[in-house]
Chains A and B, each alone.
Chain A
Amino acid sequence: MPIELDIGTLAQSLAYFIAAYTIVTLSLNLEAGFTGIPNFGKHLFVAAGAFVVASIGNRLSAYIVSVLYKDEILKLIQEDPLLSKRITEADIGSLWSMYADPLGNRDLDRIMDKFFAQHPELGILLFILILILAVAIGGLLGLLISYPALRLRGEYLAILLLAAAEMVVMAIGYYWKPLVGGTTGLFLPRYLAVFGQKVILGVTVLLILAAVAMYLYAQRIANSPAGRMMRAVRDDELAAASLGKDIAKVRRDVIIISSAMAALAGALIAIHTGSVVSTHYQRFSWTFIPWAMMIVGGVANNSGVVVGVAIIMILQKFVDIVKPMLAPVVPFDPVWLYQIGLGLVIILMLYMRPQGIIPEKPSRTVNFEEIFEDVLEDKVEDEQAKKMIREGRATP
C-alpha cells in the first residue's frame, strides 16, 4: 500500500510536538532531575495552562468584545442566518458565559473567529494577556501544591501529585461543564488571526521560540549557584541544610518555576490546537511520556532532555506512518503497540542505562586555576614570589 507523505506537514507537526514536549520535559527535569521532586502529576500543570486559556480566556475575550465592540459583534451575529434568530441584542450582556458553555460555544466560535479576523491587533493583545495569565495561574498552582510538597518525601509526594492530577483532569475537567465544556470541550477564538491562513505554522514558530527560550533559561538555572544548590538538596538534604541552605525555599521555587513552565506549554498547545478538551491532557501523554523522554535522554541534563524528546517524538511519528500499513495485518489498533513499546523502553532504559543517553555532567563553574591566577596577579607583585606560590613552595 502506498503511503502518501506530506513532508511539509510532517515536519511542521514534528516541530510542534518536539517544541511542546521540550518545554514540559525541561520543567520536569528541573523538578525530578535536578531537585529530586518526583512529579507524577505533570499533566495537571500542563492541563492548568490549557484550562486557563479555555475557561478564563474564552470568558474574558467574549466579555471584552461584547463591551467594547458591542455594535460590531451584534452586526456579525445578525448577519449569521442561524444565530440571528437565537441571539438578540438583550443577550449580548451574557455573551461571555455563552461562549464558555459547550452549547453556545460551537456557534459563537464562528462569530468570534470572524471578529478577530477584523481586529487582529485586539487578538494579539488578548493572546499576550491570556498567556501571562496562564503562566501566573500555573505558578500559583505550583505554590499551592508546594505546601504539602514541602512536608512530604519521595513516594508520598508522587502519590499525592498523581492523585491530584487524575482528579482534576479526569474527573473535574471531564465532567464539570463550566470549566472546559466537559466531555465535548471548548473551541477557542482564533486570537492570532494576524497570521492569516498560516495560524498553525505561526503558533508552531512561537512554540519553538518558547522552547528555545526555556532551554536557555533551564541551562542558566542549572549552571548557576541555584542549580548547584538544587543538586545539593537532591543528593543530601541534611548536608545542604547544615551548610545553611534553605531547603524548603529551593524546593518551593523549583516547583513554582516548573509549574509555570508547564502551564506556558499547556496554553500554547491549546492555542495551537484551537480547542481544549480534558482528554487531551491525560497521564499517558503529559506525565508518562515526559518521564520517558527524560529517562531516555538524560536525567539532570538539559541537552539530554532535548535528545530524548527528539528520539521519542520521531519514534511516535514513525509509528503514525507505519500504522496504516500495520492495521490490516494485525487484528487490533497498532497504537497500543506504541504504548506497550514505550513502557518497555522505559523499563529497559532503567535497566541498561539509568543515567540516560547523555548522563549528568558536573555543573559548569569558573576554572579553579583561572581564579587562582587572577588572585595571584591581583595580590602578589613580585614575579619571584608568584613563581614560588605556583610551584607550591610558598603560601600566599
Chain B
Amino acid sequence: MVLNVQLFLDTMAYASVLGLLSMSLTLTYIVSRVPNFAHATFAAIGSYMVLIVVWLLGIYKTGPSWGVYYASLPLSFIVVGAVALLQYLIVLRPLAKKGISIDGLMIATLGIDIILVGLLNISADFLEEIFQQSPDKDLRKLVTYPRSGYLSSYEPTIMGVTASSILGPLLLVVSTVGFYLFLTRTKFGTAMRAAIENPQLAETLGINVNLVYSISWFIAGGLAGIAGVIMVMTTKLNPTMGWLLIVSVFAGSIVGGLGSLFWGAVGGLLIGFLEQFGVYYTQIILGALTGETVSLGNYRQVFSLGAIVVMLLVAPQGLASLNWGKILSRLGLRR
C-alpha cells in the first residue's frame, strides 16, 4: 500500500510533538544562545503528568475520557514551565553572568538533564510503590506504568480517530498562530522581540529584559510539557524517553535554522514525517528486495541524524535562510 491512513494519523501526532518541541527549543536558543540538552526530558516530565492525572482523577477506573486532556494539558504547561523557568533563573542566568563559555553552559544543561531524569526515576519508584501498596485492585494494575506504560488506552477517540492525532496538530497550529499574533500585535510581544534583538538598547528604553527572558523560558517549558502530553500517547512511558528523542528535536530545530519559531515548528513537522515515512518506505523497499518482513521502527532517528548532517553541510542557517521566492520561481510555481 502506497498511502497508509493510520500511519498518516500516527505521524500527525508524532510530527506535531516534534514541531512543538523544536519550536520551543528554538525559543530558548534565541533567548539564551545555548542548545538546551534537557529539552526532551521536559517533555518526559509532561508525560508523567498524564500518568498522575490518570491516577488522581480515577481515570484508570472509568476508562478513556476527555478529562485526561482537560487536566493534564494545563497541569503540564504550568509544571514544566516552572521547571524551565527555574533552570533559567537558578542555573543558566547566573552561569552566563559569570561569563562561563558556551561549552560550560551546554554541559550544565546536560547536568540538568541528568538531574531531571534522576528525579523522574525517583518519582517512578514512588509511584510504583504507591500503586503496589494500594488496596484498590484497579490501581494495582498500574504498577508497571511508571516505567513502561502505554497511556494511549486512556485517551478518547473522535470518530474512530485517536484524539492525539487531531489535538496534536491543533495545538501546534494554535501555538504557532498564537505566537505570531502575540509577537506582532501585542505590546509585550514587541518588547520581547526588541529584547531578543538588542538587549542593551531595549534596556535603555525601559524594557525589563530579564522579565522577558524569564517569560520566554516559562512559555518554552510549557510548550514542551504540552508536547509531552501528546507524546505519551504515541510511545511508552519511561524516565529516559527523552534521550533518543532529543536527536529528532535538534534535527527539527536545525532544519528550521535555530533562529525562527515558525521555521522551528516547520522543521519539527518535517522531521516527524521524514522519520515515519522514511522508515515505512524503506521497510517496503527492503522487504521487497529481501523477501522478508523488515522492521525498522527502532532506527527512525537515522533519518534525523542524516537530516542534521545534510542540513549543516548544505544550508547551516536552516530552511529559514533559503530564498523561497527564488526557489519557487525556479520550480515554475511562481512567476
Binding site for B on A (CB under 8 A): 32, 36, 38, 40, 148, 151-152, 154-156, 158-160, 162-164, 166-167, 170-172, 174-176, 283-284, 287-288, 291-292, 295, 331-333, 336-337, 339-340, 342-344, 346-347, 350-351, 354
Question: Which chain B residues border A172 with CB–CB below 8 Å?
Answer: 299, 302
Q: Which residue of A lies closest to B129 (CB)?
A: A331
- From B102, B104, B114, B126, residue with most partner A Cβ within 10 Å: B114
Q: Is the CB of A351 within 8 A of B94?
A: yes
Q: Is the CB of A163 within 8 A of B308?
A: yes
Shortest Cβ distance from residue B58 to the other chain A in the assembled complex, whole angstroms: 23
The CA of A387 and the CA of B156, in the complex, are separated in Å by 95
Q: Is the CB of A284 within 8 A of B95?
A: no
Q: Is the CB of B312 within 8 A of A175?
A: no
The CA of A331 and the CA of B132, in the complex, are separated in Å by 13
Q: Is the CB of A155 within 8 A of B106?
A: yes
Given A160-B309, A167-B302, A288-B114, A155 and B254 touching (CB < 8 A)? no
The CA of A292 and the CA of B111, in the complex, are separated in Å by 9
User: Looking at the complex, which one of B111, B302, B308 makes contact with A159 (CB distance below 8 Å)?
Assistant: B308
B6 at the interface (CB under 8 A from A): no
Shortest Cβ distance from residue B229 to the other chain A in the assembled complex, whole angstroms: 24
User: Looking at the complex, which one of B108, B126, B254 makes contact with A347 (CB distance below 8 Å)?
Assistant: B108
Q: Is the CB of A162 within 8 A of B112?
A: no
Question: Which chain B residues border A167 with CB–CB below 8 Å?
Answer: 247, 301-302, 304-305
Question: Which chain B residues border A36 with CB–CB below 8 Å?
Answer: 103
B1 at the interface (CB under 8 A from A): no
Q: Is the CB of A159 within 8 A of B309?
A: no
Shortest Cβ distance from residue B107 to the other chain A in the assembled complex, whole angstroms: 5
Shortest Cβ distance from residue B294 to the other chain A in the assembled complex, whole angstroms: 12
The CA of A36 and the CA of B102, in the complex, are separated in Å by 11
Given A160-B309, A163-B247, A354-B104, A171 and B118 touching (CB < 8 A)? no
Question: Which chain B residues border A152 with CB–CB below 8 Å?
Answer: 312, 316
Q: Is the CB of B100 within 8 A of A354?
A: yes
User: Looking at the complex, which one of A171, A283, A287 makes contact with B301 (CB distance below 8 Å)?
Assistant: A171
Write the B289-319 contact mask toward A (1 if CB under 8 angstroms, else 0).
0000000001101101100110011001000
Q: Is the CB of A340 within 8 A of B95?
A: no
Given A163-B308, A340-B115, A332 and B243 touching (CB < 8 A)? no
Question: Which chain A residues border B122 with CB–CB below 8 Å?
Answer: 332, 336
The CA of A154 and the CA of B34, in the complex, are separated in Å by 10
The CA of A291 and the CA of B299, in the complex, are separated in Å by 28
Shortest Cβ distance from residue A192 to the other chain B in the assembled complex, whole angstroms: 34
User: Looking at the complex, which one of B103, B104, B118 makes contact with A337 (CB distance below 8 Å)?
Assistant: B118
The CA of A170 and the CA of B301, in the complex, are separated in Å by 10
Given A38-B106, A332-B126, A351-B95, A163 and B115 touching (CB < 8 A)? no
Across the A-B interface, the 4 shortest Cβ-Cβ residue pairs: A332-B125, A343-B115, A340-B118, A343-B111
The CA of A357 and the CA of B3, in the complex, are separated in Å by 60
Shortest Cβ distance from residue B180 to the other chain A in the assembled complex, whole angstroms: 26
Q: Is the CB of A38 within 8 A of B308?
A: no
The CA of A122 and the CA of B41, in the complex, are separated in Å by 48
B110 at the interface (CB under 8 A from A): yes
Q: Is the CB of B121 within 8 A of A166?
A: no
Q: Is the CB of B104 within 8 A of A164?
A: no
Question: Which chain B residues border A170 with CB–CB below 8 Å?
Answer: 243-244
Q: How many residues of B contact A (CB 8 A)?
A: 46
21 A–B contacts from the bound complex (CB under 8 Å): A40-B110, A148-B313, A151-B313, A158-B35, A160-B308, A160-B312, A166-B244, A166-B246, A170-B244, A171-B299, A295-B107, A331-B125, A332-B129, A333-B125, A342-B114, A343-B113, A344-B115, A346-B107, A346-B111, A347-B108, A351-B95
B91 at the interface (CB under 8 A from A): yes
Shortest Cβ distance from residue B133 to the other chain A in the assembled complex, whole angstroms: 10
Given A32-B103, A332-B125, A350-B104, A162 and B114 touching (CB < 8 A)? no
Question: Which chain B residues border A156 with CB–CB below 8 Å?
Answer: 254, 312, 316
The CA of A234 and the CA of B121, in the complex, are separated in Å by 38
Q: Is the CB of A159 within 8 A of B254?
A: yes
User: Looking at the complex, which one of A151, A159, A171, A351 makes contact with B35 (CB distance below 8 Å)?
Assistant: A159
Q: Is the CB of B129 within 8 A of A154?
A: no
User: Looking at the complex, which one of B107, B121, B305 makes contact with A332 (CB distance below 8 Å)?
Assistant: B121
B143 at the interface (CB under 8 A from A): no
Q: Which residue of A lies closest to B116 (CB)?
A: A343
Question: Which chain A residues border B111 with CB–CB below 8 Å?
Answer: 288, 292, 342-344, 346-347
Question: Which chain A residues border B37 with CB–CB below 8 Å?
Answer: 40, 162
The CA of A40 and the CA of B103, in the complex, are separated in Å by 10
Question: Which chain B residues border A158 with CB–CB below 8 Å?
Answer: 35, 103, 106
Q: Which residue of A lies closest to B104 (CB)?
A: A350
Shortest Cβ distance from residue A355 to the other chain B in the assembled complex, whole angstroms: 11
Q: Is the CB of A155 within 8 A of B35?
A: yes
B77 at the interface (CB under 8 A from A): no
Q: Which residue of A lies closest to B248 (CB)?
A: A163
Write the B246-270 contact mask toward A (1 if CB under 8 angstroms, else 0).
1100110010000000000000000
Shortest Cβ distance from residue B109 to the other chain A in the assembled complex, whole angstroms: 10
B117 at the interface (CB under 8 A from A): yes
Question: Which chain B residues border A343 with CB–CB below 8 Å?
Answer: 111-115, 118
Given A38-B103, A347-B91, A336 and B110 touching (CB < 8 A)? no
The CA of A333 and the CA of B106, in the complex, are separated in Å by 28
Q: Is the CB of B250 within 8 A of A163?
A: yes
Known pairs A164-B305, A171-B301 / 5 extra A-B pairs, C-beta < 8 Å: A40-B37, A156-B312, A170-B243, A339-B115, A342-B111
